[in-house]
Amino acid sequence: MATDQFEPRIVGFLCRWCSYTGADLAGTSRIQYPPNMTPIRVMCSGRVDPTFVVQAFAEGADGVMIAGCHPGDCHYDVGNYRAMRRVPMLKNLLEQFGISPERLMLTWVSASEGRKFAADVVTFTETLRRLGPLNFAGETKATDELNLKETAPAV
Amino acid sequence: MAKPKVAFYWCASCGGCEEAVVDLAEDILKVVEAVDIVLWPVALDFKLKDVEAMADGEIAVSFINGAVRLSEQEEWVQLLRRKSGLVVAFGSCSHLGGIPGLANLTTIEEIMANKYDRAPTIDNPDGTRPLPRPVVDGYELELPTPWNTVKRLDEVIEVDYYLPGCAPPPELIMTAVQAILAGELPPKGSVISPEKTLCESCPLNESKPDELVITEFKRVATSQPKPDECYLAQGFVCMGPATRSGCGERCIHGNMPCRGCFGPPPGARDQGTKLLSAIASAGAAENKDEADLFAKGFVDPAGTLYRFSVPSSILKRTLKGK
Amino acid sequence: MAMFDKTFPTLDCAACILTPKMVQVGQHPNIKLMTLSEVEALSGYVGNFKVQVRQHARYITADCTGCGECVEVCPCEHPSEFEQGMNQRRAVYRAFPQAVPNWYSIEKRGVPMCEDTCPIHTRTQGYVNLIAHGDYANALKVIRDVNPFPATLGRVCHHPCESECQRGFHDEPVAICALKRFVADWEDEQGLAPEPFKTKPNGKKVAVIGSGPAGLTAAYDLARKGYGVTIFEKYDKPGGLMRTGIPAFRLPRDVLDREINWILDHGVELKLNSPLGDVGVTLDDLESKGYDATILALGTTKGKALGIEGEELPGVVNCLEYLRNANLRDEVETGKRVSVVGGGNAAIDSARTALRYGAEEVTIIYRRTRDEMPAIGAEIIAAEHEGVKMHFLVNPVEMMDGVDGQLTKVRCQKMRLGEPDESGRRRPVPIEGEFIEVETDQCILAISQLPDLDFLVKDEDFDLTKWATLKADPHTCETGHAGVFACGDAVTGPSTVVEAMASGRQAATAVDIFLTDGDMDYMRREYHRPTDLPKMDNVRQPGLPTVKREEIPLNPDAGITLKEVELAFTEEQAVAEAKRCLVCAGCSDCRVCVDACDKGAIDHLMQDEVSEIDVGAIIVATGFELFDSREMPRYGYGRYDNVLSSLEFERMCHASGPTEGKIITKDGRAPEAVAILHCVGSRDENHLEHCSRVCCMYSLKFAHLVLDHTGAEVYNFYIDMRAFGKGYEEFYKRLLNEGVHFIRGKAAEVTNVAELPEEEGKLIVIGEDTLLGMNRRVPVDMVILSGGLKPRADADELARRLHLSCMQGDFFLEKHPKLAPVDTATDGIFLAGACQGAKDIPDSVAQGAAAAAGALVLVDRGKVVLEPITSSIDDEVCSGCKLCLQNCPYDAIEFDTEKKISKIVEELCKGCGTCVAGCPSGAATQQGFEDDQIFAEITGNLS
């Protein structure tokens, strides 16, 4: 087993009703999945402010996962539709900041889908391994002072 | 008693802030009467050495406009910080990064390449570029070098107050000057403008429906907004809900949606993501495909949402070109 | 539970335990039972729920005394859900004798396609099913309710109903039209004369011009409503095209006369030889004679010309004139070699008539192919049978004459089929330069017909359409002349008898409204409005045996004469054919039950009622569904008669069940050996992963009952024995001692393929006995499949409506598996019984009590505690941008128009936080989920 494998850091925002319960079920069912995702429980995927996502990237996350109830199943009727509308726009924004849209995952996990939850974490972790570390703050800081090179004129 | 000394300085800016000072009109006489201007590169001939010769803290207040992106600007603002009792970031560029801050969405290399190689009006077969130390007529000159990342003033030096706006409106400037002269200063770090967002004072807010639904986006480049209906309700991206008021709704009166130059209100950590969240939530998309299409209709989200504030956003700059 | 015979392990009678409880509930003053009802939507929150309930129409009012007379007369049979399909029930039924409330209801699934398609919306399934039951008189009553011409239409209708018959998608459509003829002819054979409907004259007079199907139907409808109707007919005999166009060998004259006379029996006056116009009656005459309204049902009397060279030659004749002469005068000039141009019924009738009046050779010339011919299929076949030749894909371009100026040939352009036109039929396209010549001495043109309206258009109140038909309002049938209405072919262009009748009915309805409340807009609003009931389209019954449609008998003596060619079904044929009806609508709408009910409690027009009820707590106890063993074909359920599901076996054991408690095979024998298969569907990752918990024990109960009732050898195939409850292990021991053969191993297959002599005629259960380590083949007479318990098919839909979560398929998810087993994630909604997961009766009852206690706690306390996670908006920060308003699904955000800011009504806020995420100014915050708290969590997670 490779020990120097890149371990991405994932911040997960899980809705309390479906996805958090689904994650719980994955746990109580003893389903194995990588420990790369650390969850933050919110009441609804609609609570996830895009500001949280950029903050997570700015603070060193390699990926952000938002999980909510399946469309039509939202405990709050339509909160997950808000998440569904924000994410594509946020992805476009992230791309302009040089962050691959693949680093933001929106998925639907119902309370009974412990297995799906685990599979999503596995897939997402694999995707992020492929993309490699982001280290947004470190990388941007490194470029901060980058000055115009002292190139000689081609006379 | 000697009149308090005042300095005006400009960094990466367009000169509009200087115009704003002139826009004080007759009021400028009151200012001149009350203060002694010791530095104003656009109007008066003072040199670096004149400022260096002053005692630390000798200048009562320095008004600095423009973002910081050259080594020279960094030297100047650090000098002024030393010599000044108060430093006021004057205008959007020093407050938030401003229009020059959009450079953070690309790299200095790209900008140079566009400027010196790619632009259709450029004829530069030798690929000549400006040099930090060119030799002209046998003399070696030292020119300032541009940075890859444009910075807000407060990323370089400590700032006491912020006067927002592109440019700050004259009324706001007078308010600030009078407060400083009278010694009635707000808490350090304050932005001298109301804390509520533009919708509060916007004449079009009445026309905004309670259940706002945006079905698709429109752009002022391709269609003309109706002057009597909330721009968001018409589908134009208006930064008003995520932007401080105090500007006098100048853009709105000019039939132009708010572009966000006053920056976010205190409760919004990131002006762009806050507005993105609000307008995306109001979309009509009912499934993933519709949501993708809806998002696609929003052209250049970063440039729109952070027109004046890329350097003050959470992400600050792009990783592109790394 | 009501479907069980005995409970386990105590072997009590399930009905004895359940019935008193059900009756108690039914009679309790504080319990309102809403049966046949569905929850459609839920809003509100704990203590303040609003539940939208749809109470499905029962079609029987509360006056029902439960006497059951309606069941006796109901002709529609369906498998009884309660008896697991082993018994039939009627369309009017109650679930079972002890049902609470003990009311009957009628099952209406929707509008059958046959009825929907019929232009006059005959309640087709009604009369078909009455015929199946031998109730011919009532069948005729159903028909005559809308149709005064059962015998006529039974012969000549183009029966669009049969094209839509759902049976037709399985094998062949029911012969609906022929069944109609059967009952009509039956009445005549019996010498019965139908009684006219009783009417009460209302003193108003209506004139009907024309006695074709449209005019006669309008007259019939108006007469039944009490109007004094006079029909004015141009010719000397009534019937319009039914008489002048349809030959006697299809519609005998006595049949038509009888039916017209029956209409006249309703007090309708008929004036023959009375054409409309200057030579006969005028509209002014009618007005002056006191007619309150007039209906023009003029029909089409002019044939359409081809517009080609030579059409004026002697020998070229129009079909209307030709048929009229034959049908009214019984003499018509007919050539030796007759050609007929056209592909409709008039063409076929002309061709067949020509054969009967001396033609030696008849050829039909049609420009498309046989598939596009609009004529009734059976008529085309009959014409071919009689020797009529058909030339397809040819179009006449010239009538050619010989030396004496007589027609000799029809020159025709060859055609091919192109793209479909507006009618959906492929358009014929000429093939350049290719012609044929058809030798003929008489050519009958049957291409289309037009009304003769020249005399009418002189009056400026009347206009023609661009198709040269009479202009009338398509909804109200009104013409430009006040009080004059128009209908039938003169308005619509050529149509069929039943279509003309529909048009006549529309005009009669319009006239009735015109002469009563005058609300002509009703015709626009309501007349063609479809009912709220769904259309019974795409009804499939898997496993339905194929039954051939009865063939219509032909008259062996008819030959090519004027005698009727087709005969009616025999009674046996009719009953057999009628029984092929699937009664896809549930209730056939024959309405004989209405007469059978003394209390007048039956209302076939009842509507669903939707009501909203306020409740503080909700208990969901929707139960389970039995695993459908058809999903495991290797056990042969549905293929072998004696493979039973567990619920079927429960019903079989029950004293009031389909076999009155006798455990017998399908052919009535007592079984000598019975196998009981445990875990069918359960504990199987291809089907239900869970253990259904009850099957081991009810399988033991079955074993005991089989032993007790029959003394047969009993073989239980089990994986392992789960006797987990109180008294269960003891029950298992008892069975061990009773001599049941327990075979540890899941049965692999049930087959009827015998390998040994003793297996002949038996079902062989194959499985591995894992205790003995050997394969077993056990020949038995009956196999009982102990199917697992699965969530109800519509559980996910209910979950969505009630905002519940599901797991293990669609079993509802409790709040906590141990600490809150009957609560749900939504406060105030509780779960009880098998809807939450497979469980036995004691556990279900315990959960029911627990859920009741949970609800009572709420009621007793009278107030609810909400989680402190609500959102709020800071007055000082909110700028009133209103963007939060659309984010709240609960309307908990109000816009204060005074202060011009948004406010959150805390009691309504459920704490989703969506508005907070969407607030651009940061004015909205959520307790416990503040931005700074989440930022801190992000930092914590990443540190």
What is the average pLDDT across C99-113?
A: 90
Q: Are residues B69 and B209 in the same domain?
A: no
Contact C350, C340 (CB under 8 A): yes
Search chain A and give the residue with CA nearest C871. A47
Angle between helical axes of A79-96 and A50-58 (0-180°, round to 10): 40
Q: What is the pLDDT of residues C591-646, one digit of tens each?
A: 999 999 999 999 999 999 999 999 999 999 999 999 999 999 999 998 999 999 99
Report whether pLDDT(C578) > 80.
yes
Domain hosting residue A31, numbered range: 10-151
* A117 closest CA partner among A18, A14, A22: A22
CA distance B42 to chain A (A): 27
Which chain B residues are closer than 8 Å to A93 by Cβ? 272-273, 276, 301-302, 305
Whole-number Cα distances in Å, C811 to A19, A45, C838, C891: 17, 24, 8, 31
Contact C341, C373 (CB under 8 A): no
Cβ contacts of C931 within 8 Å, gap of 6 or more: A49, A51, B269, C916, C922, C925
C111 three-state secondary structure: strand
**pLDDT for the residue B134:** 84
Euclidean distance between CA atoms C540 and C586, whole angstroms: 13
Q: What is the pLDDT of residues B94-111, one digit of tens each?
A: 999 999 999 999 999 899
Owner of token pair 């990466």: B12
Lowest mean pLDDT among B8-22, C34-48, C451-465, C699-713: C451-465
Q: Are residues B220 and B87 in the same domain?
A: no
Report whether pLDDT(A147) > 80.
no
Q: Provide, rounded to the nearest whole percent, the portion of chain C with pLDDT above 70.
A: 100
Angle at C376 between CA C375 and CA C377, to 5 degrees: 110
* Residue A4 belongs to a domain: no
Closest CB to A112: pick one of C813, C916, C918. C813
Q: What is the pLDDT of residues B256-308, one digit of tens each?
A: 999 999 999 999 999 999 999 999 999 999 999 999 999 999 999 999 999 99
Contact A103, A131 (CB under 8 A): yes
A38, two tokens: 């650390």
Contact C782, C667 (CB under 8 A): no
**pLDDT for the residue C808:** 67
Report whether pLDDT(A155) > 60.
no
Flag whether residue C7 sits within 8 Å of chain A, measured between CB atoms: no
Backbone dihedral angles phi then psi of residue C204, each to the nearest 5 degrees: -105, 150
Euclidean distance between CA atoms B15 and C561, whole angstroms: 110
C908, two tokens: 């309504």
Flag whether residue B267 sits within 8 Å of chain A, measured between CB atoms: no
| Upstream peptide bond of A61 is cis (omega within 30 degrees of 0) | no
Q: Are residues B45 and B154 in the same domain?
A: yes
The model's confidence at residue B211, banded by pLDDT at 50, 70 and 90, is confident
Q: What is the pLDDT of residues B135-181, one digit of tens each?
A: 889 898 888 888 999 999 999 999 999 999 999 999 999 988 888 88
Report whether pLDDT(C807) > 80.
no
Flag whether residue B135 sits within 8 Å of chain A, measured between CB atoms: no
Q: Are residues B158 and B26 in the same domain?
A: yes
For residue A13, what is the enclosing H or E element? strand A10-15
Chains that touch A (3 or more CB pairs under 8 A): B, C
What is the average pLDDT across C202-219?
A: 95
Q: What is the pLDDT of residues C29-71, one digit of tens each?
A: 999 999 999 999 998 888 889 999 999 999 999 888 888 999 9
- How many domains does the structure of chain B reveal? 2
Flag whether residue A83 sits within 8 Å of chain B, measured between CB atoms: no
* Residue A31 belongs to a domain: yes
Lowest mean pLDDT among C14-23, C115-124, C503-512: C14-23
Identify residue C803 by its one-letter amino acid code: H
Identify each DSSP E strand in C342-405 by its residue range.
Answer: 361-365, 389-391, 394-401
* Residue B254 belongs to a domain: yes
Euclidean distance between CA atoms C448 and C374, whole angstroms: 12
Q: Are residues B267 and B166 in the same domain?
A: no
Euclidean distance between CA atoms C297 and C497, whole angstroms: 13
Backbone dihedral angles phi then psi of residue C858, each to the nearest 5 degrees: -65, -45
* Residue B152 belongs to a domain: yes
Closest CB to B318: pick one of A46, A50, A96. A96
- Which strands, in side-by-side order, build the sheet including C774-780? C747-751, C763-769, C774-780
Q: What separation, in Å, do the N-terminal and C-terminal C-alpha atoms of chain B show?
A: 56
Q: Which of residues 232-251 of B touch A (CB under 8 A)?
A: none
Chains that touch C (3 or more CB pairs under 8 A): A, B
pTM: 0.70
- DSSP letter at C937? H
Q: Are residues B230 and B296 in the same domain?
A: yes
Backbone Cα Rg of chain C: 37
CATH label of the domain that carries residue A68: 3.40.50
DSSP string, B110-170: HHHHIIIIISTT---TT-----SS-EETTEEP--PPEEEEEE-GGGTS--SEEE-SSS--H
**pLDDT for the residue C735:** 93
Q: Are residues B157 and B73 in the same domain?
A: yes
C848, two tokens: 């029911």
* C438 closest CA partner among C395, C472, C403, C490: C395
Euclidean distance between CA atoms C614 and C597, whole angstroms: 36
Q: Given 3-state DSSP classes, what are the helix, strand and coil percentages for chain B, each rounded to the nearest 5?
A: 35, 15, 50
Q: Which of residues 271-310 of B touch A (CB under 8 A)?
A: 272-274, 276-277, 280-281, 283, 285-288, 291-292, 294-296, 298, 300-303, 305
Report CB contact under 8 Å: A47, C805: no
Domain hosting residue B68, numbered range: 5-99+148-182
Report whether pLDDT(A2) > 70.
no
* Residue B125 belongs to a domain: no
What is the average pLDDT across C389-411?
A: 89
Backbone dihedral angles phi then psi of residue C696, each to the nearest 5 degrees: -55, -45
In sequence order, the β-bridge partners of residue B5 are B36
- DSSP letter at C554? B
The model's confidence at residue A3, banded by pLDDT at 50, 70 and 90, is low
Search chain C and give the residue with CA nearest B244. C921
Which chain C residues are closer than 8 Å to A73 by Cβ? 799-800, 805
C399 three-state secondary structure: strand
DSSP string, B24-60: TTTHHHHHHHH-EEEE-TTTS---HHHHHTSPTT-EE
Q: Are residues B50 and B164 in the same domain?
A: yes
Report CB contact under 8 Å: A90, B280: yes
Q: Are residues B175 and B211 in the same domain?
A: no
DSSP string, C623-687: -EEE--GGG-GGG-BTTBTTEEEHHHHHHHHSTTSTTTT----TTSPPPSEEEEEEEESTT-TTS
B236 three-state secondary structure: strand
* Residue A3 belongs to a domain: no
Backbone dihedral angles phi then psi of residue B283, each to the nearest 5 degrees: -70, 165
Q: Go through C898-928 and write b for each residue having 16 or more CB atoms within 10 A of its CB, e for each that does not.
A: eeebbebeeebbbbbbbbbbbbbbbbbbbbe
What is the average pLDDT across B125-133?
A: 83
Report whether pLDDT(C458) > 80.
no
Count of other CB atoms within 10 angstroms of residue C504: 29
What is the average pLDDT across A12-30?
A: 92
Q: SS3 for C891-907, per residue?
A: CCEEEECCCCEEEECCC
More confident of the two residues A84 and C372 = A84
Q: SS3 for C162-183, per residue?
A: HHHCHHHHCCCCCCHHHHHHHH
Count of other CB atoms within 10 angstroms of residue B23: 15
* Residue B162 belongs to a domain: yes
- DSSP letter at A74? B
Q: Are residues B277 and B226 in the same domain?
A: yes
CATH label of the domain that carries residue B70: 3.40.50.700
Report whether pLDDT(B192) > 70.
yes
C525, two tokens: 């609003």
* Residue A74 belongs to a domain: yes
A97 three-state secondary structure: coil
**pLDDT for the residue B64:** 97
**pLDDT for the residue A154:** 42
* C747 closest CA partner among C787, C710, C705, C776: C776
* Residue A110 belongs to a domain: yes
More confident of the two residues C220 and A141 = C220
Report CB contact under 8 Å: B112, A152: no
Euclidean distance between CA atoms B216 and B298, whole angstroms: 8
Closest CB to A144: pick one of B148, B285, B301. B148
CA dihedral C753, C756, C759, C763 (to 10 degrees): -30
- How many domains does the structure of chain A reveal? 1
Report CB contact under 8 Å: A93, B314: no
C162, two tokens: 């049969």
Q: C299: buried, middle or exposed (CB in 10 Å: 19+, 13-18, 0-12)?
A: buried
Euclidean distance between CA atoms B94 and B155, whole angstroms: 10
Q: Which of residues 7-36 of A touch B (CB under 8 A)?
A: none
**pLDDT for the residue C809:** 73
Report whether pLDDT(A152) > 50.
no
Q: Are residues B39 and B163 in the same domain?
A: yes
Contact A67, A117 (CB under 8 A): yes
Report whether pLDDT(C561) > 90.
no
Count of other CB atoms within 10 angstroms of residue A21: 25
What is the average pLDDT across C260-288?
A: 90
Q: C817: buried, middle or exposed (CB in 10 Å: 19+, 13-18, 0-12)?
A: exposed
Flag whether residue B203 sits within 8 Å of chain A, measured between CB atoms: no
More confident of the two residues C277 and C836 = C836
* Residue A2 belongs to a domain: no
The model's confidence at residue B1, banded by pLDDT at 50, 70 and 90, is low
Search chain C and give the residue with CA nearest A19. C805
